Amino acid sequence: MGSSWGAEAALLLGALDERVDAVVAFAPSAYVWGRVDNDGRQRSAWTWRGEPLPFVPFDLAWQPGVLRGDRAVAGEPADASGRRTGCRASGGVAGRAAEDRGSADGARRIG
Domain boundaries, the chain: 1-30, 33-106
> Hey, what's the torsion of the CAs at 101, 94, 58, 70, to 10 degrees?
-160
DSSP class of 56: B
Q: Which residues of the chain have pLDDT under 50?
A: 78-85, 88-109, 111
> In one letter, which amino acid is 9?
A
- The reported pLDDT for the residue numbered 49 is 92
CB 51 within 8 A of CB 75: no
pLDDT digits (tens, 9 = 90+) for 33-58: 888 888 988 999 899 999 999 888 88
pTM, two decimals, is: 0.55
